[in-house]
Structure 1
Amino acid sequence: MTAATPAIEPPTADEVLTDVHQGVGRILLNRPRALNALTTPMVAAIDEALAAWESTPLTAVVLASTNPKAFCAGGDMRAIRANALAGDTEASENFFATEYRLNARIAEHPVPIVSLIDGICMGGGLGLSIHGDYRVVTENTILAMPETAIGFFPDIGASHFLPRLPGAIGMYLGLTGHRLDAADALYTGLATHFVPANRIDEVTEALADNAATPIDTILKDLEGREGREGREGREGREGLGGIPAPSVAGSKLAAVRADLDRAFGAPTLDGIRQELHALATPWAARTLATLDAHSPQSLEITHALLTAGRTRTLRECLAAELLLTRTTIRSPDFLEGVRAVLVDKDRTPAWQRADTQ
């Protein structure tokens, strides 16, 4: 953006903690009561730390949470809705512009970034982690891009990374908001490593104490298995923490992959629905019910955005997403979706249009 960025107040109550220990930078999200939902000051603080460390000889940067329940629940969409209702478009514009600038910085950062995803990670949480080099999950991890359920669309560069997942998985995740566990995350490639939750705090120290050892090797050692080959080839072995390390064979998505690719590989939303009807399986019926419950406007936007994102760079995707935020956050479906899911929590949104057919 060419316009001057408004001054940003620092995060309150130390909501972002940063330090450097033995050549490892550490960023801790510390807004536990809100499950680390991101505000503009939090995003700006993370961006500022990463910018300062671009010219610092660090071994790695670790991004984690002080709350074992959540890595990051996403952007604070209740605040975005409140801005829209108050007519404060500048505040929301500033949030998204700052967030997307951070997403690009993470993707282009010269120092390897290791995200420790223990607990909930949704929306903006994936924006903090997926663009980095290493995404470590635990047995507690839940990943999702649930935006179509609140009248929004998968942003934070999702129109770049979702279309690049295997087969039609990205379209499925973007449209349905399906929640992935650790096995699913490893199967899709959204995660790179597994470390038991009771060992996740050891990662930073291990990186600091073994600066000459490749990060991949350190993470595999903490995982307690011989890397991805072990995950794919054997069941029943346990990580050093006593927690069974998930294997691709345990992925729920892997079990429905053929049907998923058939349905969500269709070129249109109508085609996806037709394929799901034709499959006539319990999974297809549940998936149709999910689509029917989500915002028709959001489904249309998401399908078009992910389709276009296949040939766009990350920065082009972020620019397209920023343009879409300006209209989407003022739409009736967004205001109603956030109300129903995050404000009143009655989960009975009245969408503007009944269906897309």
Structure 2
Amino acid sequence: MCWGHYLEQTKGAKCSELVYGQTNISTAKAVTDAGKVGDRLSQDFFREEYILNNAIGTYQKPYVALIDGITMGGGVGLSVHGRFRVATEKTMFAMPETGIGLFPDVGGGYFLPRLQGKLGLFLALTGFRIKGRDVQQAGVASHFVDSEKLPSLEKDLVQLKTPSNTDVAGVLNSYQAQSKLDDGKPFILAEHMDQINRLFEASSVEDIMQKLNEDGSSFALKQLETLKKMSPTSLKITFRQLQDGASMSLQEVLVMEYRLSQACMRGHDFYEGVRAVLIDRDQSPKWKPGVVEEVTEDLVDGCFKSLGSNDLKL
């Protein structure tokens, strides 16, 4: 049995007893620095990450991720594809990649379009953050347990004599039943799901933005304002990524996403996004192209093209 424990301040990574994961500024800077000079790190980082995501998604033994903190990017990839994902009141989940000129990778093209309605597309394009029990209600986590109970939960999992999926589920279900924090609280986006499903049911990013503008509600206009801050290229890549990924296997999605990762390494917006959001932190990225209408279909198509012998092999 392998289980993961995701903490905001962890530094290591292993998969023996506990798995620690994070996406941090130093990693993003290392990848951007490598990409600028054509160093293999910009290829190997994504390749090895996606191979690991696939290993987790196909792992035969029970895999339990305890996502007790900030869970974004790489931390999502290390948890969401496992059979069991345990959120706590401290969990904060988001896929904010369109804000740094990237896309919701690590298999986002697989799990996001499989969430309820258009929720996955909404989360992917806007980077909206969900916390605590909402992470389970969204379908990202399979269970919710009070954080104070995690040490005891880990102990009981370790002591299982026959850690089958059924036995692990039994332990997790028991701890979930004991956890009363925010029990019965409605999903944070419940009152907006009809809007999300209607406004994000579209044939293009431009169509979504037009619908949001025409809707005119405070919620819709807030999402429109958010989308206008994101990388236009990332928005269009992400829209197609989820559109295609809805009918793909996890392996097919990861191959597609590796192609997209390398397209981002060849482009402009990822470097500019990391600079503006993570390094200089002026929050004023200068995207190229600057608006979604200028992102051509040829540009998007080029991001999805095969890399030939350099394609990801799983």
Asked if TM exceeds 0.5, the reply is: yes
Residue 56 of structure 2: SS of its match in structure 1? helix
Give the gaps of 5 or more residues in structure 2: 294-314
| Stretch moving more, 79-88 or 135-144 | 79-88
**Residue identity opposite 1:154 in structure 2:** P
Percent of pairs with identical residues: 36
Residue 351 of structure 1: SS of its match in structure 2? coil
Structure 2 Cα separation of the partners of residues 116 and 28 of structure 1: 5
- 1:354 paired residue number: 290
**Residue identity opposite 2:51 in structure 1:** R
How do residues 203-352 of structure 1 correspond to structure 2 at under 5 angstroms?
A: 203-212=153-162, 214-225=167-178, 239=179, 244-247=181-184, 249-352=185-288
- 1:166 paired residue number: 116
Structure 2 Cα separation of the partners of residues 274 and 31 of structure 1: 37
One of 124, 127, 130 as aligned partner of 2:74? 124
Alpha-carbon offset, residue 223 of structure 1: 2.3
| Deviations 1:2-38, CA, capped at 9 Å, x for gaps | xxxxxxxxxxxxxxxxxxxxxx545667893xx55x8
Structure 1 Cα separation of the partners of residues 192 and 24 of structure 2: 27
Is the contact between residue 8 and residue 22 of structure 2 (CA under 8 Å) also seen in structure 1?
A: no
- 1:15 paired residue number: none
**Residue identity opposite 1:142 in structure 2:** M
Alpha-carbon offset, residue 73 of structure 1: 3.6
TM-score by length of 2: 0.86
Structure 1 Cα separation of the partners of residues 193 and 45 of structure 2: 36
Q: 2:28 aligned with 1:81, yes or no?
A: no
Is the contact between residue 53 and residue 81 of structure 2 (CA under 8 Å) also seen in structure 1?
A: yes
**Residue identity opposite 1:352 in structure 2:** K
Structure 2 Cα separation of the partners of residues 178 and 326 of structure 1: 25
Is the contact between residue 74 and residue 125 of structure 1 (CA under 8 Å) also seen in structure 2?
A: no
**Residue identity opposite 1:201 in structure 2:** P
Alpha-carbon offset, residue 354 of structure 1: 2.4
| Deviations 1:137-194, CA, capped at 9 Å, x for gaps | 1111100111000000111111111111110011111111111112321122101111
Q: Count how many residue pairs are aligned between Structure 1 and Structure 2.
A: 289
Structure 1 Cα separation of the partners of residues 4 and 136 of structure 2: 24
- 1:157 paired residue number: 107
Is the contact between residue 126 and residue 227 of structure 2 (CA under 8 Å) also seen in structure 1?
A: yes
Is the contact between residue 110 and residue 250 of structure 2 (CA under 8 Å) also seen in structure 1?
A: yes
Residue 214 of structure 1: SS of its match in structure 2? helix
Cα gap change, 1:28 to 1:167, in 2 (>3 Å): closer
How do residues 173-184 of structure 1 correspond to structure 2 at under 5 angstroms?
A: 173-184=123-134
Structure 2 Cα separation of the partners of residues 189 and 31 of structure 1: 22
Structure 2 Cα separation of the partners of residues 303 and 29 of structure 1: 28
Structure 1 Cα separation of the partners of residues 239 and 263 of structure 2: 17
Structure 2 Cα separation of the partners of residues 289 and 63 of structure 1: 40
Structure 1 Cα separation of the partners of residues 289 and 77 of structure 2: 30
Cα gap change, 1:63 to 1:250, in 2 (>3 Å): farther
Is the contact between residue 130 and residue 190 of structure 1 (CA under 8 Å) also seen in structure 2?
A: yes
Is the contact between residue 2 and residue 63 of structure 2 (CA under 8 Å) also seen in structure 1?
A: no
- 1:19 paired residue number: none
Give the gaps of 5 or more residues in structure 1: 1-23, 50-61, 66-70, 226-238
Structure 2 Cα separation of the partners of residues 175 and 28 of structure 1: 27
Alpha-carbon offset, residue 279 of structure 1: 1.8
Structure 2 Cα separation of the partners of residues 31 and 86 of structure 1: 30
Q: Note the aligned Cα RMSD (angstroms).
A: 2.2
Structure 2 Cα separation of the partners of residues 317 and 310 of structure 1: 9
Cα gap change, 1:296 to 1:30, in 2 (>3 Å): closer
**Residue identity opposite 1:189 in structure 2:** G
Alpha-carbon offset, residue 281 of structure 1: 1.2
TM-score by length of 1: 0.76
Structure with greater contact order relative to length (CA < 8 Å, sep ≥ 6): 2
Cα gap change, 1:173 to 1:25, in 2 (>3 Å): closer
Structure 1 Cα separation of the partners of residues 54 and 217 of structure 2: 40
Residue 256 of structure 1: SS of its match in structure 2? helix
Alpha-carbon offset, residue 97 of structure 1: 0.7
Alpha-carbon offset, residue 129 of structure 1: 0.5
Alpha-carbon offset, residue 214 of structure 1: 2.0
Alpha-carbon offset, residue 64 of structure 1: 4.9
